[in-house]
Amino acid sequence: MGSRRVPGVSIHPSAPHWIKWDSSGSEPFYLRSPMGGQSPAFIPGLGGFRLSFAKTPNLRGEIALLFNERQRSLAGVIAAMAVVNLVYGISFPLLALVLDAQGVSKSLIGLNTIVQAVAVVAIAPFAPRLMSRFAPSRLMQVMTLVVALLFVIAGLYVNVWFWFPLRFIIGAATAMLWIASETLINEWVEERWRGRIIGLYASVGAAGFALGPLLLIMTGSTGMTPFVTTSVVTLLAGLPLFMVSHGRLKIEGEAGQGVWKMFLLAPVIMLANLAYAAVVESMITFFPLYGLHLGLTEKFTLGLLTMVGAGSMILVLPLSWVADHVNRIGMLAVVVVFTMACLLVFPYVLQQTTWLVFLFAFAYGGAEGMIYTLGVVLIGERFKGSQLAAATTAFSACWGAGTVLGPLLVGVGMDWMGNDSMLLIMFAIFAVYLPLPLVSWLRSSRPRTA
């Protein structure tokens, strides 16, 4: 029986009652109709044809989708990344500036920041089960509403001790957004497009990050204005989440277990996110304070952070195309080295002309952002089906651990060794991680002997 050509879809020749999703090299998905039985009629154009994954040996997840909902669902999942990065892009510098203006020490500011990250690690073991009990899209919608409300509360009650539990809840909510969105996008994307689609996902996230400091430039860091503005923009950025299909992620047996086992299966990938988070969240939190120490204005330092985010947003797209055509572990090692070089020369670049400083920040953001993007791509490449939710959760937990480690080391280091130590500590974090992807790359490139 011939196949009727619909993009990505064909009638399976050996079993005409099954429809085959063309996954281009990865495991094929065989889909059945909700109309009853296991022999669905072929609907011309597949408009409104509801799909669900049939059980296969390596695919235990089952997410109901409409063909005409697929793009909308992807758009909603990508939007979740914008919400997450918007929250971190504005909350870290905003809350740090507010607390610094109250005379709070940098060590305590670092501890306050850490609480938001500890929540990611704390919620990680429960995330796969939550995604099997509730539709991931529903979880993302609720978490967006919670985050928007908590920002208003944070503005009403400005107190470092009150912000500790408040930031823990914000961290837990954004962690669920992050884990659910990464799981779904890796579940849905085809292998041959993985780098580019996840590059777009990371690019939108970078746009959320860039928007955070930009909002602070516009609203300032005093009064209720930045908090209310952040709440409103978070809600607007989360609107596409309400277009996501509400299928539950069915997780069987070991799929809901072994989150930390996934870490041991791919430590190079997991630790990439830890190192990335340690550096990027330290930069977001302390760079405005570092800039003020150098005599730069608050608007100028926030403008540089915006350019870092813009670099991640724009440069990640062509770099993700490259990632689909080269050894991805090797590319990871290269972008880590480039990022380390940028951290070393950053103090000298800040003494140059404004346009050169902003161009440098743009390039730095592109390389740094690609570390995270390659991590997500490699997770989807390495793990499939039932292991994907656990692996994504472990990956996000490593981000939380990095966000704990980075601000703590940098905050304490700046108090003990002065503000100039900030960039050197961030360089040291990447220097400790770098041997892992280098060794892995060299091993994978070594010719195999018979």
CB 384 within 8 A of CB 58: yes
Q: State the DSSP string of 155-202.
A: HHS--HHHHHHHHHHHHHHHHHHHHHHHHHHHHHS-GGGHHHHHHHHH
Same domain, residue pair 32 and 78: no
State the Cα angle at 402 between 401 and 406, rounded to 5°.
125
Same domain, residue pair 290 and 343: yes
CB 325 within 8 A of CB 381: no
Same domain, residue pair 97 and 47: no
Mean pLDDT in residue range 307-332:
87
Weakest mean pLDDT among 26-30, 145-149, 275-279, 396-400: 26-30
Predicted pLDDT of residue 191: 65
Higher pLDDT, 407 or 14: 407
Domain assignment present for 65: no
Same domain, residue pair 15 and 158: no
Higher pLDDT, 40 or 172: 172
Strand partners, 262: none
Higher pLDDT, 421 or 4: 421
Predicted pLDDT of residue 244: 67
Q: CA end-to-end span of the chain, whole Å?
A: 43
Mean pLDDT in residue range 364-390:
84
Strand partners, 29: 21
117 HSE (CA, 13 A, CB side): 26
Higher pLDDT, 39 or 274: 274
Contacts of 308 (CB under 8 A, 6+ apart): 209, 210, 283, 361, 362, 364, 365, 368
- pLDDT surpassing 90 at residue 437: yes
pLDDT band at 351 (very low <50, low <70, confident <90, very high): confident
**pTM score, whole prediction:** 0.68
- The DSSP letter of residue 69 is G
Higher pLDDT, 167 or 126: 167
Distances in Å between the Cα of 107 and the Cα atoms of 76, 145, 305, 343, 413 are 37, 31, 22, 22, 9
What is the per-residue pLDDT across 44-99, written as a single tens digit (0 to 9) for each? 333 223 333 333 333 333 333 344 456 667 777 777 677 777 777 787 788 888 88
DSSP H helices, 266-327, are 267-293, 298-323
Higher pLDDT, 367 or 13: 367
Weakest mean pLDDT among 16-30, 236-250, 281-295, 311-325: 16-30
- pLDDT surpassing 80 at residue 25: no
Strand partners, 9: 6, 21
Mean pLDDT in residue range 349-377:
91
344 HSE (CA, 13 A, CB side): 9
Predicted pLDDT of residue 321: 85
Mean pLDDT in residue range 182-189:
72
Mean pLDDT, the chain, integer: 76
Domain assignment present for 260: yes
Q: Provide the CA 255 distance to its chain's centre, in angstroms.
A: 21
Residue (of 396, 196, 217) closest to 316 by Cα position: 196
Which range, 73-82, 314-323, 383-392, is most confident?
314-323
Domain assignment present for 59: no
Same domain, residue pair 116 and 192: yes
- The DSSP letter of residue 241 is G
- Residue 200 domain boundaries: 70-445
SS3 65: strand
Domain assignment present for 284: yes
SS3 66: strand
Predicted pLDDT of residue 84: 73
What is the per-residue pLDDT across 193-242, written as a single tens digit (0 to 9) for each? 666 777 777 777 777 777 777 788 888 888 899 899 889 888 887 787 77
Weakest mean pLDDT among 166-170, 188-192, 194-198, 352-356: 188-192
Same domain, residue pair 151 and 38: no
CB 304 within 8 A of CB 291: yes
Same domain, residue pair 31 and 142: no
Domain assignment present for 63: no
E strand or H helix at 32: strand 29-32
Residue (of 419, 422, 301, 305) closest to 369 by Cα position: 305
Domain assignment present for 61: no
CB 140 within 8 A of CB 80: yes
Domain assignment present for 265: yes
Contacts of 345 (CB under 8 A, 6+ apart): none
Predicted pLDDT of residue 2: 36
Same domain, residue pair 144 and 42: no
Same domain, residue pair 424 and 362: yes
Distances in Å between the Cα of 309 and the Cα atoms of 204, 305, 357, 367, 369 are 10, 6, 14, 11, 8
Q: Considering its fold, how many domains does the chain have in total?
A: 2
What percent of the chain is helix, strand and coil (3-state, nearest 5)?
A: 75, 5, 20
Strand partners, 66: 50
Domain assignment present for 210: yes
Q: Work out the percent of the chain whose per-residue pLDDT is above 70.
A: 76
Same domain, residue pair 236 and 278: yes
Q: Which CATH number covers residue 147?
A: 1.20.1250.20
Same domain, residue pair 371 and 279: yes
Same domain, residue pair 19 and 126: no
Q: State the DSSP string of 78-145.
A: HHHHHHHHHHHHHHHHHHHHHHHHTT--HHHHHHHHHHHHHHHHHHGGGHHHHHHHS-HHHHHHHHHH
Distance separating alpha carbons of residues 257 and 131, to the nearest angstrom: 13
